[in-house]
Structure 1
Amino acid sequence: MDTGTHTVMGVALGGLATLDPAVQQDPMLFNAVFVGTMIGSQAPDLDTVLKLRNNAVYIRNHRGITHSIPAILLWGIGLSGGIFAFYPQVDFFHLWLWTFLAVILHVLVDVFNAYGTQAYRPFTKRWVAYGFINTFDPYIFLLHVVGIIAWLLGANPGYTFLILYFVIILYYLKRYFDKRQMVKEIQNYYTNVEQIVTSPTIRHNIWRIAITTRDHFYVGRAENGHIEIIDQFYRKPLPDIPLMDKAIQDENLAAFLSFSPVYRWEVDEFDDYTEVRFIDLRYRSKGRYPFVAVVTLDDDHNILSSYTGWIFSEEKLQKKLDAVPT
């Protein structure tokens, strides 16, 4: 989820903690727990600082090891231990418990986005992306805001957020069944379906869909349950040629391939260089596919420039590839 949603979830979990008798009876413990839920709800996204290095490192690692099973355990122990140093008189077990739950909640809600996480590491490095909740879901965010306002106006925070999370669980179930129905319809219509990737949008009734069959990629959208195919592409294996072998060794393209489950590729030759472009098919927006990886090579297959990331115009992309000869 986005940072704002993780923040309000940290507040909500702090309010929910007031149902714990130990927290109810000890104001100092409540303060420590509230700090723990706020920090714990954000901690796994510490890897966002990798974006300061470059897009390739960020894409390959964001929501990776910091969202893994060992990291969840370490975040819980490390954060609660650090907070305990400032509140040594409180019950450490209850402080750890609620801080640990905040970290778990952060990772749990992230697996339902289309972006996903590597939450099952170390057992597998597969990206887990169930794809039925948008990274920013306005309904989830607004429900939390309503709960926080009710708390500020005097409502019991424990019962308020208990009810709120019951409603949100029902909402998750609805979204899950919405996706399952779409997948069922697609599987009934197409043969040899190998993969269906769904990406919910910020609008509740609109979804992006990328379908992989034995021979084709299909890109579509679903609106109010009606599925429309917008683009289709032949599924071509990567050519076993020196140009492609060299291109996929590039850091940016390698990061793209480690993250993207459904993409097409194209090679364009120009006077002084050749461009190899990989295009993720999950994020079609306004007629474009903004998540790409591009590598340019000279006639001797030396890499001239490369880029990976979200880009929304060809002009901006070419500016990123500032090493391309003119």
Structure 2
Amino acid sequence: MDTGTHVVMGIALGGLATLDPVVASNSATATSVLIATIAGSQIPDIDTVLKLRNNAIYIRNHRGVTHSIPAVLLWPLILLAVIYPFFPTANLLHLWGWTFAAVFIHVFVDIFNAYGTQALRPFTSKWVALGVINTFDPIIFGIHVAAIVIWVIGADPGYTFLGMFIVLIGYYLLRFYAQAKVREAVRKIIPDATDIITSPTMKFNFWRIAAMNEEEFFVGRAMGTNIVIYDRFKRVPVPKTPVLEAAKKDSNLAAFLSFSPVYRWELDEYDDHYEVRFIDLRYRSNGHYPFVAVVQLDLELNPISSYTGWVFSEKKLRKKLSIIPN
């Protein structure tokens, strides 16, 4: 989820914690729990600072080790070490429990996005991405804001947020139902589909679709159960040629391949260089595929320039590469 949603989730969890008799009866515990739930709902995303280095490192590591099982166990202890000295009369066990809940919920809700997390590390580095909730869902955010406002104007926080979480559970179940109907509609068009990837958007009934069978990729959208296929591409395995093998050694392309589950590739040869491009098929927008990895190599297969990330025009991509215009 986005940062704003994680913040309101932390506030909501701090309000829910007032149903805990130990929290409700001790002001130091209540205050420290609210601080800890807000901080705990944010701390797994500390790896966002990696974007300051470069996109390859960010893509390869964001929602990786910081969202892993060891991290979920470690983050609450780190937060306790920082927060508890300021509230020495707080109940340490209950403070830890609610802090752990905040960290766990952060990682848990992230798996419902199309981006997903590596939440099962160290057992597997596979990305867990259920694709039922957009990174920013205005309904989820709005429900949280409404509950916080109700609390501010005087309602009991515990029961207010308990009711809110019950509503959210229903909403998540509704999203799974909507996703299942979309998948069912896609299979009517592509009955031999081996995989169907759904990417939700901020619009409740609008989904991006990337599907495949043994021979083709299909890219389209769903408006409810109305499916439109925009593009079809032949599935061409990536051959083990010297050019492509050299390109795969580039950190930008390696990061792309570690993250993207469905893509096509292109190889262009020019008078003085090669250009290898890998294109993620999940995020088609206005006829454009914005998430790419591009590697330029000279004729001796030495890297010249490369880029991976989101880019919404060919002109901007050339500026990112900044070495060779085609």
TM-score by length of 1: 0.98
Q: Superposition RMSD on alpha carbons, in Å?
A: 1.1
- Partner residue in 1 for 2:153: 153
- Quick check: 2:16–2:161 contact (8 Å CA) kept in 1? yes
Corresponding residue for residue 36 of structure 2: 36
Supply the AA of the counterpart residue of 2:307.
Answer: Y
Which 5+ residue runs of structure 2 have no aligned equivalent? none
- Verify the 8 A CA contact 2:211 2:219 in the aligned structure 1: yes
Question: For 1:80 and 1:171, how far apart are their aligned partners in 2?
Answer: 33
CA contact (8 A) 1:253 1:308 kept: yes
Alignment of 1:90-169 (within 5 A): 90-169=90-169
Equivalence for 1:66: 66
- Say which SS state the counterpart of residue 115 (structure 1) adopts: coil
Q: What is the CA–CA distance in structure 2 between the aligned matches of 1:49 and 1:263, rounded to whole Å? A: 27
Q: Per the alignment, in what secondary structure is the counterpart of residue 85 of structure 1?
A: helix
Structure 1 stretch 190-199 or stretch 271-280: which is displaced more? 190-199
**Is 2:176 the partner of 1:176?**
yes
Aligned letter for 2:126? R
Distance 2:325 2:20 in 1: 65
Of 75-84 and 307-316, the range deviating more from structure 2: 75-84
Partner of 1:211: 211
The 2-side partners of 1:192 and 1:229 are apart by: 15
C-alpha distance in 2 between matches for 1:46 and 1:119: 15
Instruction: Supply the distance in 2 between the matched residues of 1:78 and 1:196 (Cα, whole angstroms).
Output: 40
Whole-angstrom distance in 2 between the partners of 1:197 and 1:153 = 42
Rounded to whole Å, the distance in 1 between the matches of 2:148 and 2:275 is 51
Does residue 13 in structure 1 map to residue 13 in structure 2? yes
Structure-1 separation of matches of 2:183 and 2:205: 15
The separation in 2 between residues aligned to 1:191 and 1:13, in whole angstroms, is: 43
Deviations 1:261-286 (A, max 9, x none): 00000011222211100000000111
Query: Normalized against structure 2, the TM-score is what?
Result: 0.98
Q: Identical aligned pairs, as a percentage?
A: 59
| 2:280 counterpart residue number | 280
**What is the 5 A alignment of 1:215-294?**
215-294=215-294
**Does structure 2 retain, via aligned residues, the 8 Å contact 1:272–1:325?**
no
Alignment of 1:301-316 (within 5 A): 301-316=301-316
Answer yes or no: is the 8 Å Cα contact 2:182–2:224 preserved in 1.
Answer: no
Displacement of 1:80 after TM fit?
A: 2.0
Which residue identity lines up with residue 105 of structure 1 in the other structure? Answer: I
Q: Take 1:257 and 1:44, find their aligned partners in 2: how far apart are those partners?
A: 23
For 2:222 and 2:187, locate their aligned partners in 1 and report how far apart those are by CA, in whole Å.
15
Q: Distance in 2 between matches of 1:64 and 1:263?
A: 21
Q: Which whole-Å deviations, capped at 9, do the CAs of 1:38-92 have from their partners, x for residues lacking one?
A: 1000000000000001000000000000001110000122212321121111110
Instruction: Give the match's secondary structure for 2:210.
Output: strand
Displacement of 1:229? 0.7
Do the aligned partners of 2:253 and 2:293 also contact (CA within 8 Å) in 1?
A: yes
Are 1:321 and 2:321 an aligned pair?
yes
Distance 2:192 2:245 in 1: 29
- One-letter amino acid matched to 2:40: G
Amino acid at match of 1:137: D
Q: 1:190 Cα shift?
A: 2.2
User: Aligned partners of 1:123, 1:191: CA distance in 2, in Å?
Assistant: 34
Q: Give 3-state SS (helix, strand or coil) of 1:118's partner.
A: coil
Instruction: Give the number of aligned pairs.
Output: 326
Aligned partners of 1:292 and 1:310 also within 8 Å: yes
Task: Provide the rounded CA distance (Å) in 1 between the counterparts of 2:133 and 2:289.
Answer: 20
What SS is found at the alignment partner of 1:274? strand
Q: Report deviation, 1:213.
A: 1.1
Q: In structure 2, what is the Cα distance between the partners aligned to 1:323 and 1:20?
A: 60
- Check the 8 A contact 1:221/1:228 in 2, yes or no: yes
Q: Is residue 296–residue 306 contact of structure 2 (8 Å, CA) maintained in 1?
A: yes
**Aligned partner of 2:35: which letter?**
V
SS of the residue corresponding to residue 86 of structure 2 reads: coil
- Using the TM superposition, give the Cα deviation of residue 325 of structure 1 relative to its aligned residue in structure 2, in angstroms: 6.4
Q: Which runs of 4+ in 1 moved over 6 A?
A: none
CA distance in 2 between counterparts of 1:115 and 1:126 reads 12
| Contact 1:215-1:235 at 8 Å conserved across structures | yes
